[in-house]
Amino acid sequence: EVQLVESGGDLVQPGGSLRLSCAAFGFTFNSYAMSWVRQAPGKGLEWVSAISGSGGRTYYADSVKGRFTISRDNFKNTLYLQMNSLRAEDTAVYYCAKDSISSSSGFDFWGQGTLVTVSS
């Protein structure tokens, strides 16, 4: 059974840093691209970042480019999101999501989300 389990969400001050993790189970992790998607309280979904199965290609939303870094450890079956220079507008539930059969077929599995709150 496919499972994605996020962790690392916390309350952090503006300008601070946080690293999110997403542990993957039940599929061949290195065969699939992975993404982070966030949802601010009461708002819609915002795609944040993606990484190819090998980790060789990464993509970012303009809103986080230069501040966030996506990475993966295919030996540990874990996806990461390093978030630096955090702002109040980064407050959201962060989901990790697995690509479906191809990168153009959507995200077929999602984690339960981890809450990041940026506030003084």
When binding is defined by CB under 8 A, the residue of 61, 67, 74, 82 that contacts another protein is 61
Q: Cα(89)–Cα(80) distance, rounded to whole angstroms?
A: 20
How buried is 68 (Cβ within 10 angstroms: 0-12 exposed, 13-18 middle, 19+ buried)?
buried
Q: Does residue 17 interact with another protein by CB under 8 A?
A: no
| Using rule CB under 8 A, residue 47 touches another protein | yes
The verdict on 41 binding another protein (CB under 8 A) reads no
The binding track of 20-39 with respect to another protein, each residue x by CB under 8 A or -, is ---------------x-x--
Where do runs of H (alpha helix) occur along the chain?
none
DSSP helix, strand, coil percent of the chain (3-state; round to 5)? 5, 50, 45
Residue whose CB is less far from another protein, 13 or 108: 108
> Which residues form the interface with another protein (CB under 8 A)?
35, 37, 44-47, 50, 59-62, 95, 100, 103-108, 110-113
